[in-house]
Amino acid sequence: MTQQTSRPSNLPSFSHQDQPMYGWALDSHKRPVPISLAGRGAQGYTCPICNGPMIAKKGDIKQHHFAHEFESLPECTPENVAKKIAGTWLVLELGEHMARKKPFPLQWQMYGESYRVNLLKDVTAIQEHIEFGKTEADIALMQGEKWDHPYAVFMLNLDSKRDPLIYTQFTAQSIPVISLPSDQFRSGQVTLKSVLEAAEVYGGWWLLEESERLPERLENDPNTIRQILGRSVIQSPYRFWGPLVSLYGQQHVLRVGANLVWLPPELWQIAVGGTRNRMSEDLIITTQEWPQKDGSVIALYYVNLRNTDFAVAIRRFRSGEDVHANLPAQYRMRRTTAEEVARALIAN
């Protein structure tokens, strides 16, 4: 005899043709499950918002998805369902690897080089919705006996677009950010392996052992970088500019006298900061001013041309002198270089 499920009398019937497609549901044990890992049909799946029954539709025509068996509430949108439980699924998946002491490799590209680490090495806790200053991380991997040292954070991007400038609030504290692909994650077409393979890593050098980060000659300590940049304009003509070049297999290297400084955009934001100014479709100039005790002002400029060509310009203005930058129309020319723009910024 076939057992049939009857529709509750208080729920109206509706057409399934225009029903939203959900990427996530709760299984019979109330654990989050993405559609990619779900069994086909009605197997005890429920909506985490209205608790109504859901069906896993895994046919050959439409994209695999969950659907409400009966009419859903207005707040039961695919986005809200994903935000409700997708992060918890990731926490549980990583937690199982940690409990079994299984290494979990994360591989990423950084400035032309490939890096690989065990993401769960020395991690003692995995926490959701952790605040760091004014910014909240969706998930944080913590180290230390008291779970007080953040090793890395995940940003799921389920309700907002990726904003690398927000990520610098973490990388400035030596905390790398793992940014997940929002559309893929929201749709539930994921496994733990696939979602991390598609992730973008910001500040990935903090995941590396100190000896692996850079050759010894390249400076990447923010305090040291500030000192080197400031010293570059203490003597006449009180100006410095230079391109960022490739050296020792690393891009974004600035030569300042006898010093070699590693200055990718993220590290500039940590060491110098400033205001990003989009001058054209291709050109972004980040500006910062450092007032000095003698009344002078050091103006610093980070030139980003087409995200492929970078340069730095620095000028010290005397006490009482008007702080200004020069940017002639040549910066609009396609054949210009970041170094040429940097030199023009601090010209008389």
Task: Count CA atoms closer than 13 A to 236's CA, side-chain side.
Answer: 0
Residue 13: predicted pLDDT: 41
Residue 162: predicted pLDDT: 67
38 CB-near residues (< 8 Å, 6+ apart):
25, 27, 45, 56, 58, 66
pTM: 0.67
**What are the tokens at 166?**
């927000």
- In the chain, where are the structural domains located? 24-76, 81-210, 214-345
Of 155, 172, 140, give the one whose Cα is nearest residue 272. Answer: 172
CATH 3.40.190 fits 214-345, yes or no: no
- pLDDT block averages, 10 residues each, the chain of length 348: 40 54 95 94 92 92 89 90 95 93 87 84 92 87 87 87 74 85 89 89 80 70 94 96 85 91 90 93 95 97 94 97 84 80 90
**Sign of the alpha-carbon dihedral angle for 86, 109, 176, 264:** negative
Residue 1: predicted pLDDT: 36
